[in-house]
Every structure is written in structure tokens, then in C-alpha cells.
Amino acid sequence: MKDLSLTDMLDKEDVTAMIIVAKKKAGLTWAGIAESIGMSPVWTHSACMGMNAFSAEKAAALVALLDLPAEAAAVLEESPTKVWEQTVPTDPCIYRLYEIVGVYGPTIKALIHEEFGDGIMSAIDFDMSVTRVPSEKGDRVKVEMSGKYLAYNAW
Amino acid sequence: MKDLSLTDMLDKEDVTAMIIVAKKKAGLTWAGIAESIGMSPVWTHSACMGMNAFSAEKAAALVALLDLPAEAAAVLEESPTKVWEQTVPTDPCIYRLYEIVGVYGPTIKALIHEEFGDGIMSAIDFDMSVTRVPSEKGDRVKVEMSGKYLAYNAW
Amino acid sequence: MKDLSLTDMLDKEDVTAMIIVAKKKAGLTWAGIAESIGMSPVWTHSACMGMNAFSAEKAAALVALLDLPAEAAAVLEESPTKVWEQTVPTDPCIYRLYEIVGVYGPTIKALIHEEFGDGIMSAIDFDMSVTRVPSEKGDRVKVEMSGKYLAYNAW
Amino acid sequence: MKDLSLTDMLDKEDVTAMIIVAKKKAGLTWAGIAESIGMSPVWTHSACMGMNAFSAEKAAALVALLDLPAEAAAVLEESPTKVWEQTVPTDPCIYRLYEIVGVYGPTIKALIHEEFGDGIMSAIDFDMSVTRVPSEKGDRVKVEMSGKYLAYNAW
Amino acid sequence: MKDLSLTDMLDKEDVTAMIIVAKKKAGLTWAGIAESIGMSPVWTHSACMGMNAFSAEKAAALVALLDLPAEAAAVLEESPTKVWEQTVPTDPCIYRLYEIVGVYGPTIKALIHEEFGDGIMSAIDFDMSVTRVPSEKGDRVKVEMSGKYLAYNAW
Amino acid sequence: MKDLSLTDMLDKEDVTAMIIVAKKKAGLTWAGIAESIGMSPVWTHSACMGMNAFSAEKAAALVALLDLPAEAAAVLEESPTKVWEQTVPTDPCIYRLYEIVGVYGPTIKALIHEEFGDGIMSAIDFDMSVTRVPSEKGDRVKVEMSGKYLAYNAW
Amino acid sequence: MKDLSLTDMLDKEDVTAMIIVAKKKAGLTWAGIAESIGMSPVWTHSACMGMNAFSAEKAAALVALLDLPAEAAAVLEESPTKVWEQTVPTDPCIYRLYEIVGVYGPTIKALIHEEFGDGIMSAIDFDMSVTRVPSEKGDRVKVEMSGKYLAYNAW
Amino acid sequence: MKDLSLTDMLDKEDVTAMIIVAKKKAGLTWAGIAESIGMSPVWTHSACMGMNAFSAEKAAALVALLDLPAEAAAVLEESPTKVWEQTVPTDPCIYRLYEIVGVYGPTIKALIHEEFGDGIMSAIDFDMSVTRVPSEKGDRVKVEMSGKYLAYNAW
Amino acid sequence: MKDLSLTDMLDKEDVTAMIIVAKKKAGLTWAGIAESIGMSPVWTHSACMGMNAFSAEKAAALVALLDLPAEAAAVLEESPTKVWEQTVPTDPCIYRLYEIVGVYGPTIKALIHEEFGDGIMSAIDFDMSVTRVPSEKGDRVKVEMSGKYLAYNAW
Amino acid sequence: MKDLSLTDMLDKEDVTAMIIVAKKKAGLTWAGIAESIGMSPVWTHSACMGMNAFSAEKAAALVALLDLPAEAAAVLEESPTKVWEQTVPTDPCIYRLYEIVGVYGPTIKALIHEEFGDGIMSAIDFDMSVTRVPSEKGDRVKVEMSGKYLAYNAW
């Protein structure tokens, strides 16, 4: 324990703070960072927030792009413990998503059962995109989710 | 009050129960009902569950298709009060959607702000589809949401 | 709607009540019912409680074994909506399991990450057994769970 | 109070932080640490997290292995106060275990009553293992729990 | 299912209601009932409330004493699912006990650890009495609890 | 405010921390401290935890025994504000007590009403002991509570 | 059980409903009922709501005054289980009292400690009145509470 | 921002801490402070705790009496944001008040409606006192509240 | 109790149900009902929902307009107990109002303090209107609230 | 990361604290600040609290007016994450608004549906004012809200 340095104590929260400052200083966007490291914007942002784990290769790419301390790479590769504090999110932008789950959750469930059988859409073998769709009545946000169908096991 | 009949007291919960029984007896699917009345499966199921209001024309079509009592039409046209009892849904299929909001909600928010500015995706001027995507590693559930971008007002 | 019979309205809760009465009258055990229909005791009990869906074949076997009304079979085959009312279970036998998740949950997570990588044990592609292990210091309950490892997707 | 040193104030949280840093620097795994001190991986990790108490012998072994300050040993031997902050865990890996308790808790209870009588599986006289089971359809996580059966007293 | 009688559907709540009425009509006390069936008042009341399971012998004694329907005996012998609805009890008499746990819980824990080691007092291998202690300054309620010490397992 | 010293700011939490360190350094037990100051172990521990107020005499005795700063005495004499953060305690040793209140609370209430009338056991005019009872089948923890009976007033 | 009549099943909720109807039909006020039975309005209303127990004499007086069934008297004499469902009351008139406890609770506590020592105001040996105080700026509601001071025991 | 001093950052919490220390050093009581500044003890304590706002005159008087920094006066005059963290207070002295609201809240409401009409007792145009009432059976705490009656508006 | 009729048992919930049916059968709107009885639409709807009390004159007018049973009038005149079950409303239309309180509540408070002093806007001496404001970019909902300013009392 | 300065780490909470101090030192009001930067008082206060985003122009105006560090401007322009910690606000001034939503929320919903159809009042395309209305019976607070009507989409 005698040779303990500051960077031995880095955790995902520290590295997220470093990323936010470095991104602002560099004038980058999340879409730009994502393109630079060859991943999608959704995954890149969530992993930078500490909600997903980087591969060694992608961690190295991010450290290089943003000039982070070398010790940050190992932290980026760690499996995160995913915690959200608000059972019901208060931010209006996020609450609308919660509301959609409340209103349409039983419908998504019913249509999965009708089309696939007794099972669920995985949130682990999962990907998502957020894009802009131009429209004359006002542009629209398009959120596309894709998760593997997992059938319940009977034994 | 003297000429009060049973159907004067019908509410959305009663009509939902009627629809479920009639659907089972007729051997219909939600997709089939939706096609018959010319609406999407997601909207049709949620409206049958009492989570959306029918237009007069669509209410009449559903009543005819499922041979519901005539009084059901007015109930289908009423604006629903949308209530869900579980703050955190326990059903695994619906919970996975809640989990996605917990894990990726801040990411969707950040990408909307980056792409559109300070605002949200509407959950009112909104539509959604659920489809099956074949895949060699196991078919996938695709959920597509589209909501109008609403910018915050400053005054 | 004119030919609506009582059994059109049967739901999983009704069928569970029928099963419990029939089991008591027949003097059967859960292990015995499970053996009769060729499934495990854990799955059989949970499906009888309305927490899992029967295949057509197994539903027919249960209906025959317990002399249930024919309409119960379709109900047994429906995909259940899994609801538990108590966020923290009060029954001491079930609470101990909740306590184990509280105390050892982070440990199971850490060992999965160490052995497999960033992912989870599936609760869908999952099976479980409960057995008795004789011991001189007092017999022990053995609970064995097995779930497919699911790796987080990066995209 | 005049000769109070820093290590007089060490608590379990401090020692856990020391262990995590020392483990990372030494390039050890939990399984490796467990083997070195002659305990199981599950127990070792939970005790290092401050969720179980070390015997004097095992505390000395861990302090030696990881080169911790000598004062850490007494802290490792203290009886922990076991606290978890999230009534419903949000991390997906841990939530799946909570979900299993919600779905299968009443089943485990029913099978214990059927096999043993009116009682519970102890969470105190208890042990657990987490292992990898190879499978062609994807390797599986196996969790085995064993707790002493405790019969309710009547008096 | 054809020969289903009312008493096939009896559950513990029904039998508790029968006991309360029968006790009132017979002018019995809990202490008197307990003495008649040869058990303690605490256990007898809690078992009559559906919080503990009767042995066959004691169930028969209670059925005879209170002239309950014969079918009640089997219900009394069932293992109960122990549920309390109020996380914090509002009744002042019960709340005071909750308050004692809040104020003195950590103290009881510390003294158990000091006297016995790392473990708990069992709430399963447990008994309790409530008695009156005369005192010049006003009589006192004495509650005595006794539970087996269970040491934490290390493995 | 000009002559404000550090010890002017001492609160009960600070003094509790001092006591814990001093007790460890002195190699004392709670039972030993209690005997030295002439109070019971339960009261002594709870008062040291800041859950009860010392008399001037007992505060002086504790300060002398543990060589605490003189200013600690006034803090020990203050009436505490009794706060517990967890509505349902998670520590297994304390949870068992909460469970006992949930399972047996209505029984204790019923027996008090039967024996004394409409009233409660005071948690203020109250004392408690925790002792070890040897037993061949494993030693037992005995918890004895005594509180004054308080009758409800009618006016 | 053979001679079970409806009134054997009366509980406090039933009797409260009877009182409310009878009071309305008789055109009585709570103050008038209280005067008739020789008790205070606060106690009388709370006891009629099932929140306090009648003496035999007062129960007989109320039964006579309101022409209740004879069996109601025994129910009025039972010790109530005091339950309120809303942790935070929503009715504005009751919420204001909750708010007063939130804002002034610590002040009442501090002044009790300053005036009496370490103890509380009893809510059991307690009485209360609600009266109207004329005032030119608008009449005022006066609530007077009186509870016995109970000193904490040290042992 | 260049000339920012420490006292610019003072908030009500800081000033409360100063008051508590100054009061202890000066050996004052709340009743004594109240008398010195010409206000009641209840209002004085609650305002010192940051739960009410001082007039300029009273703030100056308190600052002079306790020799607080001059900048504290402006803080004492600010309108407070009244926050209490515990929905249900755990301190026994404050909990008893909460219990009184739970048990007698509906009664106070009923008597206000009977005496005044449809309205409430104001918690804003409100005052309160806490006094000691000698009694042979033990002194009593008297709490008197007075709030303006506010009638509901109809429009 | 011998001459108890059904209408003696009417409560506000029953009368609300009668009003809703009668309104539908008569083809009336809330604005129309309000105009007929000479009150505002907001007050009329809330009072019909059981959230406000009618004067005798207005109750008679409503009973006549909707041909309600005569006994309904007394119920309409009773002071309501205002209860809402959802701490956070789920219906999107009502949630938006809750969100406005969350986002702008501290702002409304600050501006009231700046303009009026230390006090609040009354929710009792209060009125409100909801109107439609035509706009080229889409019509707007206008909600106007007016409540008497109440200054905090100091005493 | 080498040239990281303090102001790189500024977040909205820091800037809010700066604004409050600067406002106090400058002797400004919220109304005055709003007028200076050409926005409304409601929007200005909420944006200064970090609940709304400034345009570049308005951020520059505020920084100049209050002599804030230049780096504050970029922070003021960021899209906020809107968080409120108290599900039910305790401050009486804000609670009254919550109470209004509880009491009148369903009424506002019903009148919107009657006047506009199935939809909501937007909380995003939204503005609000708070003004003083003189009245002989005591001045009144007027809160006016205006939000765009959004109709539910059917698809």
C-alpha cells in the first residue's frame, strides 16, 4: 500500500467527470466522439456515463482521443454497477420515456406474446439509436430499440 | 334516474373485459383486429385496454367487428384517465423497458439536446410499432418510437 | 356476446384456486403432480400459481389429472403477467431469499464478471430446483439455479 | 484520546477500499485471493466487501497477502452491520436475482413446506457457490445455495 | 370439481373469523383457550390469527373446544404465509414495539456480538411470553423473548 | 463568537465516535463499561450511541473512565433526537426483531388488552436486558422488556 | 357455530356506519351526542369513529340515545386497533395539522426538554378540545392538547 | 464577485449553528432568549431553527443578544424554505404528535365543520404555546394552538 | 334503525356516479351545468366530483336540473374529505401539472416573497378558471389561479 | 487534461450560488434582473435556479449584469437536468400548489377534454406569470399558466 498513487483510486464517476471536461475543452460532440472510436452515439454516451464497459481497444481509443490519463483505460474497461437514484425520473425529457413504459408497456408485452410466444425482449443483447426525422409539421425524434427475443424456459 | 339501464353504467374497464372475451371467442389476434379497423396494432391494443380514445368511426368499426353492445361505442370514445398502479413494473417483459429507461434515459436526453436543442420528445404527438426481425442468432424484437420534438419555451 | 358462459371469463387466478382445491381433495403433492405431468416441481408449482405458461400438452395433462373444466386449459397456456405486490416480502421464508440477494447480490455479480465478463445470469432462460440434503447437524435445503450467461452487447 | 492515530479510525468501508486497490495492483482475482486464504470465492468476496466477519487467522492471511496495514486485521474481524441502500436493486445483474425471488419465492416456500414441514431455509447457517457450466447453447451460470432447515417452534 | 363444498374453500382468514366469533360467544379468553389446548397464550393467539401452524393434535383440540367445522382443522395445520400490510404499524400499542426496535435494535445487536460472537437471535426457533408485573408505581407489562443463537457460517 | 473552540461544536455523533475509539484502545467491553459506571449494559450502549441522555453523574463517570475531553460531558447530558434512517432495517440481526414485531405485534396487543384493559406498554418508562441462556441444543438469547402499562384516557 | 347471527359479526366499522346514519336521521350534532352521554366532543367523535373504547356505561348510553342494536354495545367496548391509511394525509384540513407537526415538532420537543427534562408528552394519558374563539379579524379555531409528561427511564 | 467574503455565503443552517453554540456558551434558555427579544418561546425557537423569518427589529435584537456576526441579521430576515426530511418522524417526542394527528385528525376536522362550516384552521395565521401544568398525578404538557378559520371559497 | 332506507346510506361517491350517468343521458356539458346553476365550470365539476361542498341553494338547483333523488341534496352539502390516492399522478394531463409544480414551485414561492413578503397563496380562499385561447400556432390552454395572500404570523 | 482550470468544472449549481450572492450584493430583485435582461420574472428566476437554459444572448446579458465569471455563460446555456428531491414538497407555499393539483387536477383534465378533445396542456411550450391583485379583503396572488394544447395522436 506504500506506493499508492492518486490514479489507483480512480472510479467510473471520476473518469466520467474527466470526459465531460475534456469533451467541452475539445469542442467535440457525442456523435463526433462515437464516430472517432467507431461505435454508435447511444452506446458511446452511455459507456462514457459509466453505464457500459469499454473493450480494451475502444478504451485506448477514447483515452487517446481525449488525452485522458493512462490509468483511465482500466477503469473504462470495468463492468459497471448500474445505479439510478430516482425510481420515477423527474427530468421531463426522461419522464416522457417512463410515461411511455407506463402507457404502452402492457401493449408491447401483448404484441411480443402474440408474435413470438411467451418471452421477452432482452435489455442485455440490445441496441438502440436516436435519430432526427424531418417533418413539415415539426421534426420528430425517432428512437429505435432492438433486443433479442428470449423465450421462457420450461423444465 | 328512473330509466337507468345497465349499459348506462359501462366504463372503460367493463368494455375492455368485453373485448378480451369477444376476441378469444372469435379467435382474432390484435394484429387482425387492428387491420380490420384500419389502425396500427400498438394503438389498437392500447385503446382496447382503455389507454387511448377511439374516434367515432373506429369505435363503430370495433363494435361491429366484435359484436359489442351499442352502448360500448360511447365508452370507447371517452378520453381515458391513464393509470398504472406499479411505480416499478414487476412483470419481466415490462420491467426490461423500465430498465432501458433507467440505463439509457440520460443518453437519449443528451442526444436529443445535441441534435435538436433544449427540448423533449413528445409522448402525446407520438406513435410506436413493435415488429419481428429475423436473425440467425435468434429473432429480435424491434420497437420503434417516433415523437414530435418540442422545444422549451422562453418568455 | 350473447352466448357468453362463465368459463369464458376464467382467468389465471380462478384456475389457481381450482387447482389448489382439486389438489387438496385428491391428496396430491406438488412433487407428485410434477411427476405426473413430466415437469419439475419448481416449474409445476410456479405455473400452477400463474407465474409460467403451460404448453398445450402439459395443460391437457394437468386438466386431466385434476379433473379441471376443459376451459381451464386455454387459460393455463396464456402468457402470464407476473405481479408481486410486496416490494419487500414479509413472509420469513421468502424474506430470507430477499436477504440473500441483499447480502450476496454484489458478490454474485462480481464473480460472474470475473468468470464470464460483462454480463448477467438470465432469469428467462433459467431453471431451478429445491432439494433436501440430509446432514447430521440438521438437514439442509439446497436451492440450485441455472441461467444462461448473457453478455452485454456493444454496438 | 491524546495518542489517537489514523488507523484507530479505520472502518470496514476504508478497509474494503484498501482491498480493492491492493487487489488491482497485485493483479489478483477474487478466486485467487479465496484460494490463497483457504476460503470459498463467495465468502471471500462478501467478507472483503464488509458483509461478513473474518476469523483472526483468515484476517491475518488476507493482511499478509495484500500487504494491508496491521490495523486492518481487527477491522476485518468485527461483526458487520449489513446495509443495502436500494430496496429494489437497479443493477441488471442483481435485479435478475430480485426478480427470481419475486417470481419463484412462493414456490420455494411451498416446496420447503411440502418436503420439510413448517419452517425456513436459514440465511445464517448458509453457504453458496457460483460456477460456470459449459453448454453448447451458451455457457450457464450456476448458483447453488445451501441453508439449514429451521423448523418453527411451538410452545 | 363437481363435488366442491363450501368448506373446501376455507382459508386461514375464514377460520380466524370463525374463532373470533366462537370465542366471543363462549365468553373465553386467549389465556383460557391456551390453557385448554395446552399451549402458551402468545403462541395460541398468533396461531389463531393465522400466523403459526397447529399440529394435528392441537388443531383437533381447538376445533373441539370452539365447536368449529371439522374442515377447519386442516386449515389450522397449513403452513401460513405471514403477511403484514403496514411497513410501519400505526396502532400505538404495536408502534411502541417498532419504536423499541428502532431505538434499541443496534444495542441488542452489539450485546449479542459481544456475548456470543458474529450471529443473530433466531425468530424461528423462538418463543415469547407477555405477563403482568405488579408495581406500586403502576403495574408493568413484561415481554420475554427467547431465540436460539445462530452463528454465521464461513465456508 | 470570537472565542469559539472546536469542542463547542461537539455533537452526539462526534462523542459516539470518540467512545468507540477509546473503548477499542482500552480493550473494554460494553458490559465492562456499564459495570464501571453502575448502569445496565443495554442502557449504557444505547446512551453511548446517542440514543439516551446521561445524568451529570454518569456522564462524568464515563468521561473519566474513557479519558474523553471534558466538553463531552455536556453533550452526553443533552436530550437526544432519536433518528433511524431505515424504515425496515436490513441488518439480519436487527431485521429479526422487526419481523417479530410484524408477526407477534397484534398478539402482544391482544394479550395486553386482555390482561390490563385498553392501553399500551410504555416505551419511555421502559427497561430491557439481553442475556445468554445456556441450552444443550445451543445457547439462547434472552431479551426481557419491561414497560409501564399506560391506560388510555377518556374525557 | 350453528346459531351464528348477523350481529355476532359486527365490527367497529359497521357500528360507525350505524352511528353516522342514526345521527343524521336524529338531527343530532357531535357536541349534542357528547353532552347526552356526558363526555367531551373530541373523545365522543373519535370513539364513535372506532378510535377509542367506550366504557360499559357510556356504550349503553350511546346505544340508548341512537337506538342502536343491543349487540353494538359490546363492539363499542372493544379496544380498537388504530389504523390510518395515509402516511401523509391529503385532506387540507388534516394536512395542516401534519404540517404543524413538521414545522413545529422540533420546537415542541425542545421546549419540553427545557421545561421538564428528557421525556415526552404522552399521547395515551391525553385529552384534547377544539373550540371557537371569536375575533374581529375572523374567528379562530383553538386546539388544546394536554398529555402527561413521561420521563425517560435510565436503568 | 471579486470582493466575496465568507459571510456573503451564510445561510439559515449556518446561522442556526451559530445560535446553538452562542446559546450554550451564554447559558441561556429558549424561554430566556424569547423574553429578551420580546417574542414567544415557540416562535423564537422555530425562527432560530430557520423555520420562520425575523423582522428587522427582532433580527437585530437577537444578533445583539448573542453577539452574532452582523451579516447574520439579513439571513434571519429571509423567508425560509421549510423542509423536513422524515415523512414519519422517528423521534418519540415528535412521533407522539404525528400519532395524535393520525388518531384525532378526522375528529378535529369534523368538529371544525360542525362549529364553523366547510373550512380549515390556518397553519399560517397561526400561533402556539407549550406550557407546564402541575398535577398531583404527574405534571402535564399543555400545547395550545390557535389558527384563523378559513372558509372554502365557492365561485 | 328500523326505518333505514337506501338513501340514508348515500355518500358522495354514490352521488358522483349518479351525476355522471344523468349528465350523459341529458347530453349536458360541465360548462352547461355550471351555467344552469350559476357557478363556474371549475367549481361545479370539482364539487360534482365530491371535492367541494354545495350550498343548500346550489344543491337544490343541481338536483332539479339532473332529476337526482331528493336525498342527494344533503350529501352534496356535506363537507368533503378530500382524498387523492396517487402521490404522483400517472395520467399525462394531470402529471404535467405536477411537473409544473416541481419545476416552477420554487419560482412561484420566490416571487411571492419578493412581491408580498413571507407568506403563501391560499388554496382555500381560492378560485380558478380554465379557458381556451386561440393561437395561430395552435390553440392554448389558459389556467388562471387566484388565491388570497396569507402572511405568516409572528407572536 | 493538463491545463484544467477551476471554471472548467463549473456546473449549474455553482452558477446558481454565484447568482444568489451577486444579487444580494447588488441589491437587485428577480423582477429587476428580469427586466434588465428582457425576460419575464418567472422564466428568469427558474433559469437562474438551473431549471431552464439561457440563449447565448441572455446568458451574456446576465453575466454582464451580475459581473459573473465569463465561464458561467456556457453553463447557463446548457440544457438542464430538472431534478426535484421531494416527491411531495414540504414547504407550505409550494405544498399549496401540490394540493391544488391533487384537488383540481381531475377538473382541469375534464374541462380540457370538454373544450379541446383528447389531449393535454403542454408543460414545454408553456409560460407563466405571478402577479399581485389588490383587493379590499386582502391582496391576492394571481398565477396564470398558458400551455399549447397537444392532441393525442392515433395511428
Q: In this predicted model, what pLDDT tens digit does every residue of H75-128 receive, in sequence order? A: 999 999 999 999 999 999 999 999 999 999 999 999 999 999 999 999 999 999
Rounded Cα distance between F35 and F58, Å, is 12
pLDDT per residue as tens digits for the range C69-105: 999 999 999 999 999 999 999 999 999 999 999 999 9
Nearest alpha carbon to residue H148 among G137, J51, A34, C143: G137
User: Are the beta carbons of F94 and E109 separated by less than 8 Å?
Assistant: yes
User: Are the beta carbons of E67 and G1 separated by less than 8 Å?
Assistant: yes
pLDDT of I1 higher than 80: no
Choose the mutation target among H87, H90, H94 for the interface with E, i.e. most E CBs under 10 Å.
H90
Q: Cell 366532543 identifies what position?
A: G41
CA distance, residue J19 to nearest chain H CA (Å): 10
Beta bridge partners of G140: G133, H148
By Cβ distance, the residue of F42, F111, F113 closest to E42 is: F111
User: Are the beta carbons of G39 and F155 separated by less than 8 Å?
Assistant: yes
CA distance, residue A131 to nearest chain B CA (Å): 8
**Residue ranges with strand state E in D90-139:** 119-133
Nearest alpha carbon to residue A112 among D40, C150, B41: B41
- Mean pLDDT for chain E? 95
pLDDT per residue as tens digits for the range G102-115: 999 999 999 999 99
Rounded Cα distance between D44 and D33, Å, is 8
**Residues sharing a CB contact under 8 Å with residue C98, sequence separation 6 or more, in sequence order:** C88, C89, D98, D101, D105
DSSP notation for chain I:
-TT--GGGG--HHHHHHHHHHHHHHHT--HHHHHHHHTS-HHHHHHHHTTSSPPPHHHHHHHHHHHT--TTHHHHHHSPP----S-SS--SHHHHHHHHHHHHHHHHHHHHHHHHT-SEEEEEEEEEEEEEEE--TT--EEEEEEEEEEEEPP--
Q: Which parts of E1-138 fold into alpha helices (H)?
A: 12-26, 30-37, 41-48, 56-66, 72-77, 92-115
Query: Which residue numbers of B have CB closer than 8 Å to C's CBs?
Result: 17-18, 21-22, 24-25, 67-69, 86, 88, 90-92
Q: What pLDDT is stored for residue I36 in this prediction?
A: 98
Q: Cell 459507456 identifies what position?
A: A47
Rounded Cα distance between H75 and H13, Å, is 10
Under DSSP, the state recorded for J49 is T
Mean per-residue pLDDT for A112-124?
97
pLDDT of J109 higher than 60: yes
Give the torsion sign (CA, H74, H79, H81, H87): positive
Domain boundaries, chain J: 7-77, 92-151
Q: Is the pTM of this model over 0.90?
A: yes
Under DSSP, the state recorded for H80 is P
Under DSSP, the state recorded for B29 is -
Select from 1.10.1040.10, 1.10.260.40, 3.40.190.10, 3.40.30.10 the CATH code of E7-77: 1.10.260.40
Q: What is the largest CA-CA distance in chain I?
A: 65
Strands lying side by side in the sheet with B140-151: A119-133, A140-151, B140-151, B119-133
Which residues of B are less than 8 Å from D99 in CB distance?
Answer: 90, 92, 95
Nearest alpha carbon to residue J30 among J21, J16, J40: J40
- Greater confidence, I155 or B9? I155
pLDDT of D147 higher than 90: yes
Rounded Cα distance between D147 and D122, Å, is 5
Mean per-residue pLDDT for J56-78?
97
Q: What pLDDT is stored for residue A9 in this prediction?
A: 81
At residue I60, φ and ψ (nearest 5 deg) are -60, -40
Q: What is the dihedral of CA A26, A28, A30, A32, to 10 degrees?
A: -130
Mean per-residue pLDDT for E143-153?
97
Helix (H, G, I), strand (E, B) or coil at E149: strand
**Residues sharing a CB contact under 8 Å with residue I119, sequence separation 6 or more, in sequence order:** H124, I112, I113, I149, I150, I151, I152, J93
pLDDT per residue as tens digits for the range B15-65: 999 999 999 999 999 999 999 999 999 999 999 999 999 999 999 999 999
Rounded Cα distance between C20 and E4, Å, is 12
Predicted confidence band of residue F3 (pLDDT cuts 50, 70, 90): low
At residue G65, φ and ψ (nearest 5 deg) are -60, -45
Q: For chain H, how big is the Rg over CA atoms in Å?
A: 19
Q: For chain B, how big is the Rg over CA atoms in Å?
A: 19
A27: left (phi over 0), alpha (psi -120 to 50) or beta: left
pLDDT of I147 higher than 80: yes
Class level of CATH domain D92-151? alpha beta
Residue pair H117/H151 in contact (Cβ under 8 Å)? The answer is: yes
- Give the CA distances from residue I49 to residues D64, I12, I14, I46, J103, in Å, rounded to whole numbers and listed in that order: 72, 8, 10, 5, 10
Residue pair D153/C154 in contact (Cβ under 8 Å)? The answer is: no
**Residues sharing a CB contact under 8 Å with residue E55, sequence separation 6 or more, in sequence order:** D154, E77
For residue H61, give the amino acid letter: A
Rounded Cα distance between F11 and F23, Å, is 18
- Mean pLDDT for chain J? 95
Query: Which residue numbers of A have CB closer than 8 Å to J's CBs?
Result: 17-18, 21-22, 24-25, 67-69, 86, 88, 90-92
Q: What pLDDT is stored for residue J9 in this prediction?
A: 80
Q: What's the CATH code, domain G10-77?
A: 1.10.260.40
Half-sphere exposure of residue I51: CA atoms within 13 angstroms, side-chain side: 22
Beta bridge partners of F10: none
pLDDT of D6 higher than 80: no
Q: Which helix (H) or strand (E) holds G105?
A: helix G92-115
- Give the CA distances from residue E91 to residues F105, G99, G149, in Å, rounded to whole numbers and listed in that order: 10, 21, 21
Q: What pLDDT is stored for residue J138 in this prediction?
A: 95
In chain D, what percentage of residues exceed pLDDT 70? 95
Q: What pLDDT is stored for residue J59 in this prediction?
A: 98
Mean per-residue pLDDT for F9-22?
94
Which residues of E are less than 8 Å from H99 in CB distance?
Answer: 90, 92, 95
Is there contact between E and J if contact means ≥3 C-beta pairs under 8 Å? no
User: Are the beta carbons of F4 and H24 separated by less than 8 Å?
Assistant: no
Question: CA-based angle I1:I6:I11, to the nearest 5?
Answer: 100
As given in the structure block, the three cell numbers for residue C115 are: 468468470
User: Are the beta carbons of B102 and D95 separated by less than 8 Å?
Assistant: no
Q: What pLDDT is stored for residue H9 in this prediction?
A: 80
Mean per-residue pLDDT for I110-138?
97
Active site annotation includes G132:
no
Is there contact between F and H if contact means ≥3 C-beta pairs under 8 Å? yes
Q: What pLDDT is stored for residue G1 in this prediction?
A: 46
**Residues sharing a CB contact under 8 Å with residue D126, sequence separation 6 or more, in sequence order:** C100, D145, D146, D147, D148, E153
pLDDT per residue as tens digits for the range G67-116: 999 999 999 999 999 999 999 999 999 999 999 999 999 999 999 999 99
Beta bridge partners of I121: I149
Rounded Cα distance between I128 and I110, Å, is 21
The chains found to touch C (3+ Cβ pairs under 8 angstroms) are A, B, D, E, F
Mean per-residue pLDDT for C100-125?
97
What does the H/E/C string look like for chain F? Answer: CCCCCHHHHCCHHHHHHHHHHHHHHHCCCHHHHHHHHCCCHHHHHHHHCCCCCCCHHHHHHHHHHHCCCCCHHHHHHCCCCCCCCCCCCCCHHHHHHHHHHHHHHHHHHHHHHHHCCCEEEEEEEEEEEEEEECCCCCCEEEEEEEEEEEECCCC
**Residue ranges with strand state E in H11-154:** 119-133, 140-151
Q: How many CB atoms lie within 10 A of CB A25?
A: 15
In chain G, what percentage of residues exceed pLDDT 90? 94
By Cβ distance, the residue of F22, F86, F91 closest to D1 is: F22
Q: What pLDDT is stored for residue B9 in this prediction?
A: 80
Mean per-residue pLDDT for J140-147?
98
Residue pair I60/I77 in contact (Cβ under 8 Å)? The answer is: no
**Residue ranges with strand state E in chain B:** 119-133, 140-151
- ipTM surpasses cut 0.90: yes
Q: What is the dihedral of CA E56, E62, E65, E67, to 10 degrees?
A: -90
- Mean pLDDT for chain B? 95
Which residues of A are less than 8 Å from D21 in CB distance?
Answer: 1, 4, 8-9
Helix (H, G, I), strand (E, B) or coil at A139: coil
pLDDT of A1 higher than 60: no
Q: Cell 402468545 identifies what position?
A: E42
pLDDT per residue as tens digits for the range H2-45: 455 656 689 999 999 999 999 999 999 999 999 999 999 999 99
CA distance, residue A128 to nearest chain I CA (Å): 25
Q: What pLDDT is stored for residue H5 in this prediction?
A: 60
pLDDT of C120 higher than 70: yes
Q: What pLDDT is stored for residue C4 in this prediction?
A: 54
Class level of CATH domain C8-77? mainly alpha
Q: At what angle do helices D92-115 and C41-48 cross, to 10 degrees?
A: 100
Say which range, C139-143, D131-135, G4-8, has the weakest mean pLDDT: G4-8
**Fold topology of A6-77:** 434 Repressor (Amino-terminal Domain) (1.10.260)
As given in the structure block, the three cell numbers for residue B100 are: 432501458
User: Are the beta carbons of I1 and G24 separated by less than 8 Å?
Assistant: no
Q: What pLDDT is stored for residue E9 in this prediction?
A: 80
Rounded Cα distance between G97 and H122, Å, is 9
Burial class (CB in 10 A: 0-12, 13-18, 19+), G86: middle
Rounded Cα distance between B27 and B46, Å, is 19
Q: What is the dihedral of CA C41, C44, C46, C48, to 10 degrees?
A: -140
Residue pair E35/E96 in contact (Cβ under 8 Å)? The answer is: no
**Residues sharing a CB contact under 8 Å with residue D118, sequence separation 6 or more, in sequence order:** D151, D152, E52, E53, E79
Q: Which helix (H) or strand (E) holds C149?
A: strand C140-151
Helix (H, G, I), strand (E, B) or coil at C35: helix
Mean per-residue pLDDT for E97-124?
97
Residue pair H44/H38 in contact (Cβ under 8 Å)? The answer is: no
Choose the mutation target among G75, G81, G118 for the interface with E, i.e. most E CBs under 10 Å.
G81
